[in-house]
Amino acid sequence: MRKFNVFLVLLALLALLAAGCGQAERKPLVEETKGSLETGGNFPSFSLTSLDGKTITSADLFAGNRVTLVNFWGTFCGPCLQEMPSLKELSENYAEAGLGVVGILIDPQNADKAREIVAGQGTGYPTLLDDGSLGAGISAVPTTVLVDSNGQVLTTFVGSRTLEQFGQMVEPYLK
């Protein structure tokens, strides 16, 4: 009669436990750069390429608007795509009030698919390709960050929103 080797199983489990504890997670941006997505923090500075090949810097982007709505999204994210029409309408409705909207794609390896999506949606606002430095700092997509003209984060929220909800969020900062 052979005995089931519990010791070996326990050893394997302990090894797995140690592997999990020892795994170095991808460090969030907030620990590596001088920037934060927390309310009151300074949005991390960036220089990113848009889907149509232009280079856009954070300084120029934020200074050009009273408030900039930065929307992190991914091509795999259904709720992200579903809220795009709302963001398009929001950007049109509040453009004169000084609102700028920009998307940041967190899976830039799918840029071709993103171009199809954006073309199909007709978003009207630029989408930038994350270079890996910003996406690591968010918990989930979609994440939306409101930033003032000085690059200071006004508020951050996770999850998709309706046009009405987006309006309620940006209006206090545009008065």
Partner 1 sequence: MVDTKRRIVQILTAAAFNSHFTGFARGTIYRGDLKAVCLPVLNCYSCPGAIGACPIGSLQAVAAGSAFQFSFYVAGFLALVGVLVGRMACGWLCPFGLIQELLHRLPSPKRLLPAWTRWVKYVVLVLLVLLLPALATDAFGLGTPYFCKWLCPAGTLEAALPLALANKDILGALGTLFQWRLTWLLLILIACVPVQRFFCQTLCPLGAIYSFFNRVSFLNLGFDRSRCCNCDRCAGSCYLKLPVTAGINHPECIRCLKCVKSCPTGAIYWGIQIPGKKEEPISA
Residue 50 has a CB neighbour count (10 Å cut-off) of 15
Under a CB-based contact definition with an 8 Å cutoff, are residues 162 and 86 in contact? yes
CB of 17 to partner 1, least distance (A): 4
Among 21, 34, 52, 175, binds partner 1 (CB under 8 A): 21
Under a CB-based contact definition with an 8 Å cutoff, are residues 28 and 144 in contact? no
Q: Closest CB to partner 1 among 60 and 76?
A: 76
Which distant-in-sequence residues (6+ apart) come within 8 Å of 6 by Cβ?
none
Is residue 20 involved in binding partner 1 (CB under 8 A)? yes
Q: Closest by alpha carbon to 146, among 132, 129, 165?
A: 165
Residue 115 has a CB neighbour count (10 Å cut-off) of 15
Residue 170 has a CB neighbour count (10 Å cut-off) of 23
Is residue 8 involved in binding partner 1 (CB under 8 A)? no
Q: What is the per-residue DSSP string for 112-159?
A: HHHHHHHHHHT--S-EEEP-SSSGGG-SSSSEEEEEETTSBEEEEEES
CB of 125 to partner 1, least distance (A): 18
Is residue 16 involved in binding partner 1 (CB under 8 A)? yes
Among 59, 63, 119, 158, binds partner 1 (CB under 8 A): 158
Among 34, 40, 52, 139, binds partner 1 (CB under 8 A): 139
Q: Which positions from 116 to 135 touch partner 1 by CB under 8 A, shown as an x/- string?
A: -x--x---------------
CB of 141 to partner 1, least distance (A): 11
Per CB under 8 A, residues contacting partner 1 are 1-4, 6, 9-10, 13-14, 16-21, 23-26, 28, 75-78, 81-82, 113, 117, 120, 136, 139-140, 143, 156-159
